[in-house]
Each structure stands twice: as C-alpha cells, then as structure tokens.
C-alpha cells in the first residue's frame, strides 16, 4: 500500500534520530523528536478497544459474561504455546525485510525491528507504521535511498501477494458455514468468489476512470512491482522475501491453532490459514491503529464461518489479538530502545 505524505511525516516524527546522524536543518529539527506514546494516544487506543468489543458483542448478540466464561475455561498450556509461536513470527519478518534490498543486513536488528514496530503500531495504522519504520531502519543501515523507499512497499506488496495466494489456495479446501435457509441459487463458495471478483472489477474501473486515483495509484503500483521484480531476480533475496512472508503467515496460523485448542476447538491447517489470511486482508483495509476492532471482528467472523460458535470465536479472537498486538508492545518498547541505542533507527 503506498504511503501518503502525511503518514510518512507522522511516522518519521515519532522515531528518534540515530547516534552519529547528520544534524538536521531548522526545518527538519522539529519533526525529529524522541519517540514516546502520549497519554492521549493510550486513551484513544483504550477507547477504540472498548468500542470495538462493544460493537462485536452487540453484533454477535452475546454478553461479556459469556465471553468471560469462555476465557476462564481456556487451557493454559495451549495459551502459552500460542503466545510463543506468535512471537516466532518476528524471525520470519526479519528474514523477509532482508529480502527487500540487495544490501546485506544483519539478522538480529531486522528481527528486533519487527518487535519495535509492534510498539509503534499502538498509535499508527499498521501499514504506515511498518513502512515508515522500515524506511528509517534501512536508511540508517546504509541502504541507498531509492532502495530504502521502495523496500517498505515491496515488503507490503509481498505480504499481500502471499496472503492472497494462501487465501485462494485454501478457499476450495474450506467449507464455509453460512445461513442459506432463505437463499437459493449458487453455493456460498461461488457467491463469495463472485463477490471478490465484482469488488476487484469495481476497484479497477474506479482506478482507471478517475484521473486523481489513477495518477496516485498506478505509478506507485508500477514502482512497487518493478522493485519486487528486481528483488525476485536474485534467488536468495526471492527466498528471503517470499519465504519469510510465507513463514510468518503460517506461524500466525499455527498460533491461532494453538489458541483454538486452548478452547477445545480443533481446526485443520487449511481452515487456520484461511481464517488468518482473510482476517489480515480485511483488517488491513481499515486504517485504525493496529487494526483495532477490524482484526477482532474479522477473526471472529472467519472462525464462525468455519463452524465455531459465537462466544468461543470471540474469545479466541480476543486471545489471539492479545498475543499478536496488545502484549507485544511491552517488549517492543525494549526493542526500540535497543535499536535506538545501537544507532539502527
């Protein structure tokens, strides 16, 4: 997803300058303040969380007492395993970011960068936070500016391509449960595929027909695809980029599987991958910090679609988000401090 100028400024203003970096001009000095989460940012995040869960509970027509009962009955051993597996995605993400540029990068800082991004995403929409942090990190690592600018978009495009590929691969293998008692005609799977096709066609028509959108989107897409092609021409970079992104998605799916087992729900790998990738694609379209609300609703909807009852689906979604978003900023702050101290950001 192309990064707008306003989002870039917001990201860069929240990331501290590295040691030894050139002294900024007076015009640049104001945006470069030390990174901190302000009280109003935390209040905003808390308000979003409460609002999201209220809306989800109302839509599912269940109370929080029911969800709390589900949470209390979870098996601790599977919960701990889910937490551990979810954190292993940082290694896969670190490998992927190494594959976005031709400049050799050490693995450890790349891995810790993924953790630091979790802290930044408290107050910044996820794609913007990831691309902005990657940009600053790569510049500090000596990557040429054109490559550094393109790398974040390349990583984002690779992530989306892997997610779409996994979704299309698993869709025929997953039986989606929808209420069709009042419907006739095509099967749920065919209607879902038709809806995806219509949405893609409408998006394409809008991009081509509206000059403003065409001028903004087409050059950025061309640049991103060109960057992906340049990286894809190098075998080990291709393996790092797409292999890392694929490993990350599979690890998230396995973490979701462990969380499901904690609540007594057994899903096969195809179902887990389907729910995880579909939720990631949907929540990525909604620019809230870290996908708050959208991610929980998407995971819940995916689990319900594959046969999980409403209260358990919401409890699983809350727990999964706890492992992947709400707890990681605690150690993400330490990662950001380490990267700053070492001059990586």
Largest CA distance in the chain: 67
339-343, long-range: CB < 8 A, 24+ apart:
339/109, 339/112, 339/113, 339/116, 339/137, 340/16, 340/18, 340/35, 341/19, 342/109, 343/18, 343/19, 343/20, 343/21, 343/140
pLDDT at 64: 54
Can you give the pLDDT at residue 277? 94
Residues in the chain with pLDDT < 70?
A: 1-70, 123-128, 177-210, 212-228, 286-292
DSSP summary character for residue 16: P
Q: What is the pLDDT, as a whole number, of residue 120?
A: 82
Query: CA-to-CA distance for 122 and 289, rounded, in angstroms?
Result: 6
Q: What is the structure's pLDDT at 163? A: 93
So what's the pLDDT on residue 263?
A: 93
So what's the pLDDT on residue 257?
Answer: 96
Q: What is the DSSP letter of 186?
A: S
| Residue 212: per-residue pLDDT | 67
Question: What b/e sequence results for 11-29 when a residue is b if at least 16 CB atoms lie within 10 Å of its CB, and e otherwise?
Answer: bbebbbbbeeeeeeeeeee
The domain ranges of the chain are 5-17+38-341
pLDDT of residue 260: 95
How many residues can be counted in the chain?
A: 345
Distance CA 237, CA 241 (A): 6
According to the model, what pLDDT value does residue 193 have? 54
* DSSP secondary structure string for all residues of 19-81: TTPPPPPHHHHTT-------HHHHHHHHHHHHHHHHHHHHHHT--HHHHHHHHHTS-HHHHHH
Q: pLDDT of 183-232, one tens digit each?
A: 344 444 455 556 556 655 666 666 566 676 666 666 666 666 666 677 77
């Amino acid at each position: 997803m192309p990064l707008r100028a306003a989002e870039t400024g917001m990201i860069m203003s929240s990331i501290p300058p590295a040691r030894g970096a050139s002294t900024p001009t007076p015009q640049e000095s104001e945006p470069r303040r030390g990174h901190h989460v302000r009280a109003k940012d935390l209040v905003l995040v808390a308000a979003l969380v409460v609002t999201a869960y209220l809306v989800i509970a109302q839509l599912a027509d269940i109370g929080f007492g029911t969800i709390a009962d589900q949470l209390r009955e979870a098996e601790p051993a599977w919960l701990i395993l889910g937490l551990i597996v979810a954190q292993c995605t940082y290694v896969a993400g670190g490998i992927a970011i190494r594959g976005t540029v031709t400049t050799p990068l050490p693995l450890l800082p790349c891995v810790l960068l993924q953790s630091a991004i979790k802290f930044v995403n408290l107050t910044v929409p996820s794609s913007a936070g990831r691309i902005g942090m990657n940009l600053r990190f790569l510049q500090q690592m000596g990557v040429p500016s054109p490559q550094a600018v393109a790398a974040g978009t390349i990583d984002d495009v690779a992530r989306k391509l892997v997610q779409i590929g996994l979704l299309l691969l698993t869709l025929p293998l997953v039986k989606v449960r929808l209420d069709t008692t009042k419907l006739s005609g095509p099967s749920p799977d065919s209607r879902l595929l038709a809806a995806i096709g219509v949405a893609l066609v409408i998006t394409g028509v809008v991009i081509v027909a509206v000059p403003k959108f065409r001028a903004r989107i087409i050059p950025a897409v061309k640049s991103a695809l060109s960057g992906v092609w340049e990286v894809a021409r190098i075998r080990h970079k291709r393996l790092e980029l797409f292999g890392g992104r694929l490993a990350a998605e599979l690890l998230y799916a396995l973490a979701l599987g462990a969380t499901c087992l904690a609540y007594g729900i057994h899903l096969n790998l195809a179902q887990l991958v389907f729910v995880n990738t579909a939720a990631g694609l949907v929540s990525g379209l909604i620019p809230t910090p870290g996908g708050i609300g959208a991610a929980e609703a998407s995971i819940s909807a995916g689990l319900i679609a594959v046969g999980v009852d409403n209260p358990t689906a919401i409890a699983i979604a809350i727990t999964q988000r706890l492992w992947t978003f709400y707890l990681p900023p605690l150690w993400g702050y330490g990662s950001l401090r380490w990267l700053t101290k070492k001059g990586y950001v």
